[in-house]
């Protein structure tokens, strides 16, 4: 028998202590998009609910936006960077294979005691990060965890593609997760359906460029109808299961904060979930576009700032995207 080793021990519960976002300075309206593609403000609005989005300037890098959002989340949580034991970043637009963006951002923040890594879970990335953060806190691997979702999707947008040019936006959202006396992050319901790998992705992979440099830079492409059907209908049982596992019903919610993919998906989900009319729903997409991993924390920050959702209230989060992958959980808002 080997000598018995110690196993880690953490607190019974974890919670989101603070949230913060960064919205890039450049506002891009539907009219501006339609100077490049043959479309109209009305066409874009009725199909997506998007009126405008933010596109980052050259200075607004994924690192810069992450550090800014994290600073706000740390201040809101009352936590110093040195107290962080882990930094998790979800992004698909950190355009270097290695090192991770999280290592760079942790260093810039002065999170000298933190482990740091990136996760690749596309538009479901924030909910994946939150699940990992809660497990790290409860498992005793880190006392405080910073979760960041950040994207510069404008870098991977084909401005001439009539089916996607108007959808994507840029931004960062961050949350600090730490110990709690009471349950404040419900069990995650998550999964992957790799059979639908082709539904959302890059026009071609980076290694294709080695053989055919004339391909230029890749962009995101999406099978709109396939994604709409999957998100609008197959995500509803996932959302219901997250409520059930948290031990609540839709009537108990103080906010519904789905990934801001498309207002039509949000509306279809509300209908299928039979969400009571008095539950506030995140509709940040109208002014922010689809910012993938950043969309849920950005929407959460806006709802709290504008008084649309109450501090301490219960919110259902659900992220879904390329993979296809998904994750949902109920949280108590900071």
Q: Which of 127, 128, 259, 262 is catalytic?
A: 259
Question: Residue 258: which of 244, 242, 246, 278 has the closest Cα?
Answer: 242
Q: Does 45 bind other proteins (CB under 8 A)?
A: no
Please choose, out of 222-230, 235-243, 282-290, 306-314, the segment that lies near other proteins by the rule CB under 8 A.
222-230
In which element (H, E) is residue 171 found?
strand 170-180
From the number of C-beta atoms within 10 Å of its C-beta (0-12, 13-18, 19+), residue 6 rates as exposed
Could you tell me the end-to-end alpha-carbon distance of the chain, in angstroms, rounded to an integer? 47
One DSSP character per residue, 205-220 reads -HHHHHH-GGG-S--E
Residue 123 bears catalytic tag: yes
Q: Does 46 bind other proteins (CB under 8 A)?
A: yes
Tell me how far apart the alpha carbons of residues 38 and 161 are, in angstroms, rounded to a whole number: 10
Q: Which is nearer to other proteins, 50 or 137 (CB)?
A: 50
Residue 127 bears catalytic tag: no
From the number of C-beta atoms within 10 Å of its C-beta (0-12, 13-18, 19+), residue 137 rates as buried
**Options 4, 6, 225, 278; binder of other proteins; rule CB under 8 A:** 225
**Options 140, 224, 310, 313; binder of other proteins; rule CB under 8 A:** 224
Q: Does 204 bind other proteins (CB under 8 A)?
A: no
Q: Which is nearer to other proteins, 46 or 205 (CB)?
A: 46
Q: Which is nearer to other proteins, 26 or 47 (CB)?
A: 47
Please choose, out of 100-108, 260-268, 280-288, 298-306, the segment that lies near other proteins by the rule CB under 8 A.
260-268
SS3 262: coil
- Strand 144-152 and strand 115-119: the pairing is unpaired
Question: Two tokens at 220?
Answer: 């995101």
What phi, psi does 205 have (nearest 5°)? Answer: -85, 165
Q: Does 47 bind other proteins (CB under 8 A)?
A: yes
Residue 30 bears catalytic tag: no
Q: Does 41 bind other proteins (CB under 8 A)?
A: no
Question: Residue 240: which of 169, 173, 189 has the closest Cα?
Answer: 189
Task: Identify whether the C-beta of residue 176 lies closer than 8 Å to the C-beta of residue 73.
Answer: yes
Question: Looking at the DSSP assignment, which residues form a beta bridge with residue 122?
Answer: none
Sites for other proteins among residues 13-32 (CB under 8 A):
none
Q: Which is nearer to other proteins, 200 or 293 (CB)?
A: 200
Q: Does 201 bind other proteins (CB under 8 A)?
A: no
Q: Which of 30, 127, 128, 290 is catalytic?
A: 290
Name the minimum Å distance from CB 50 to other proteins. Answer: 13
Q: Which is nearer to other proteins, 188 or 269 (CB)?
A: 269
Q: Does 228 bind other proteins (CB under 8 A)?
A: yes
Name the minimum Å distance from CB 263 to other proteins. Answer: 10
Name the minimum Å distance from CB 46 to other proteins. Answer: 7
Question: Residue 292: which of 93, 2, 36, 20 has the closest Cα?
Answer: 93
Q: Which of 30, 123, 127, 128 is catalytic?
A: 123
Tell me how far apart the alpha carbons of residues 84 and 52 are, in angstroms, rounded to a whole number: 35
Q: Does 161 bind other proteins (CB under 8 A)?
A: no
Q: Which is nearer to other proteins, 197 or 217 (CB)?
A: 197
Catalytically active residues, by annotation? 123, 259, 290
- Which residues contact other proteins by CB under 8 A? 46-47, 223-226, 228-229, 232-233, 262, 264, 268
């Amino acid at each position: 028998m080997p000598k018995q080793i110690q196993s880690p021990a953490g607190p019974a519960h974890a919670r989101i202590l603070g949230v913060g976002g960064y919205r890039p300075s450049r506002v891009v309206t539907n009219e501006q998009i339609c100077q490049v593609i043959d479309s109209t403000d009305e066409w874009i609005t009725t199909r997506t609910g998007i009126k405008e989005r933010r596109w980052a300037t050259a200075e607004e890098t994924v690192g810069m936006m992450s550090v800014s959002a994290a600073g706000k989340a740390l201040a809101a949580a009352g936590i110093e960077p040195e107290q962080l034991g882990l930094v998790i970043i979800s992004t698909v637009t950190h355009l270097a294979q290695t090192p991770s963006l999280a290592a760079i951002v942790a260093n810039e923040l002065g999170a000298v005691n933190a482990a740091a890594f990136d996760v690749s879970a596309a538009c479901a990335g924030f909910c994946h990060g939150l699940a990992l953060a809660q497990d790290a806190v409860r498992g005793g691997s880190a006392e405080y965890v910073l979760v960041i979702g950040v994207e510069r999707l404008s870098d991977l947008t084909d401005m001439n593609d009539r089916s996607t040019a108007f959808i994507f936006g840029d931004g960062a959202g961050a949350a600090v997760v730490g110990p709690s006396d009471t349950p404040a992050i419900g069990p995650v319901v998550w999964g992957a359906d790799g059979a639908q790998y082709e539904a959302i992705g890059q026009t071609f992979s980076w290694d294709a460029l080695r053989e055919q440099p004339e391909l230029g830079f890749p962009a995101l492409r999406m099978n709109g109808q396939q994604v709409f059907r999957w998100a609008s209908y197959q995500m509803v049982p996932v959302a219901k299961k997250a409520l059930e596992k948290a031990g609540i019903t839709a009537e108990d919610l103080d906010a519904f904060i789905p990934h801001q993919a498309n207002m039509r998906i949000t509306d279809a989900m509300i209908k299928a979930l039979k969400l009571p009319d008095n539950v506030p729903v995140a509709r940040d997409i109208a002014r922010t576009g689809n910012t993938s991993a950043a969309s849920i924390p950005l929407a959460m920050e806006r709802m709290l700032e504008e008084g649309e959702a109450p501090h301490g209230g219960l919110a259902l989060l659900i992220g879904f995207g390329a993979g296809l992958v998904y994750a949902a959980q109920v949280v108590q808002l900071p």
